[in-house]
A and B are shown apart, each in its own frame.
Chain A
Amino acid sequence: MAKTATAKSPLLGPGVHAPNFTLKSTPDQTVSLREFAGKPVVLAFYPADWSPVCSDQMGLYAQVMPEFKKFEAEVLGISVDGIWSHLAFSKDRKLNFPLLADFEPKGEVSRQYGAFDVRAGESARALFVIDKKGVIRWSYLSPEGVNPGADGILAALEALE
């Protein structure tokens, strides 16, 4: 349950400067949060690649990408899966944004954001909208088993304008 994660490290909330991180996006490339300064960033932590539904959270974000782009937002998916899993998953679901591997040390970035489910050993379903200056303006921890959709993200991006 998400409670376990929050007991140790609460979900980072509005007004907090988003901690920088550098994670692998491909076997030989990394992505750092600070590269996106000047643009809004959506961080979508999620438990695992390959969840057994056809139109899952990441697939939905790929489909909704034109809406995110209206706000010039960059979307980054983050889970503890390794980079080879991410590559295969991304290809299979035709994703059009990077998936980052919070793999070693496992879940370190997720923990920093208060988005780690200690019991499951996976990232929680947590969303963050970060403004152009790198400050978190909205965050949301989804109840276990509930796919949060894109409505909250879009409302938060709208509120940045």
Chain B
Amino acid sequence: MARSYEPPHLTLPVGERDHSDGPADAPLVLVQYGDYQCPYCGAAYPIVKRVQKEFGHRLRFVFRNFPITNAHPMAEWAAETAEAAAAQGKFWEMHDLLYENQRSLGDEALFAREETRLKLDAARIAREVAARAYAARIEEDFASGVRSGVNGTPTFFINGVRYDGYPDFAPMVAALRAAEKGSK
């Protein structure tokens, strides 16, 4: 049984709908399903940054929401906040801010201050988060993850195939290099 094991594949292809960093025609595509309140995602956050630096323009990084709300009460709030910032063109700024302030999720005053610093319309974000304006999109991300074999957070896919290794720098770089070799 182990012999025939093949990791699951991403069922929703990376496309226009996604938040992505890096060239659209990069040979390597790393997709993360993440939860802003998950401590393991918090630990993976600087590792992904290092991986992005390592591969530069050869890598496109995509982040999709996978809030585990029964374990993480602020995960939905954080996902809504990131999507509300995305509507103003600053998804990645908010994504980073959330992971860098993971212990302060839900601290509206702190985030409002930071949003103003990032030249975001903080009042609009507060309104949209309260109205759960992006719930359908977050749900779509979640459902696509479930169907693709996301088994917890963070779960990564490299060129559409689930990465079953440990979410650390060296094994991820090795897996990406192998994928790069394979695609040539």
- By a beta-carbon cutoff of 8 Å, the part of chain A in contact with chain B is 1-3, 6, 11, 53-57, 59-60, 62-64, 67, 93-94, 96, 141, 143-144, 146-152, 154
Which B residues touch A55, using CB under 8 A? 35, 38, 40, 68, 71, 152-153
Interface 1/0 per residue, B131-156 and A, CB below 8 Å: 00000000000010011111111000
**Which residue of B is nearest A93, CB measured?**
B71
Interface residue from A1, A6, A54 paired with B39 (Cβ < 8 Å)? A54
Shortest beta-carbon distance from A73 to chain B in Å: 14
Interface bin, chain B: 20 to 34
Which A residues touch B146, using CB under 8 A? 64, 67, 149-151, 154
- By a beta-carbon cutoff of 8 Å, the part of chain B in contact with chain A is 1-2, 5, 8, 11, 35, 38-40, 68-72, 143, 146-153, 164
Shortest beta-carbon distance from A126 to chain B in Å: 10
Alpha-carbon distance between A64 and B149 when the two chains are bound, in angstroms = 12
Shortest beta-carbon distance from A128 to chain B in Å: 15
Alpha-carbon distance between A142 and B150 when the two chains are bound, in angstroms = 14
Alpha-carbon distance between A54 and B68 when the two chains are bound, in angstroms = 9
Most chain B CB within a 10 A radius of its CB, from A56, A64, A149: A149
5 more A-B residue pairs beyond the given contacts A54-B152, A96-B70, with a C-beta to C-beta distance below 8 A: A56-B152, A57-B151, A94-B71, A143-B5, A149-B151
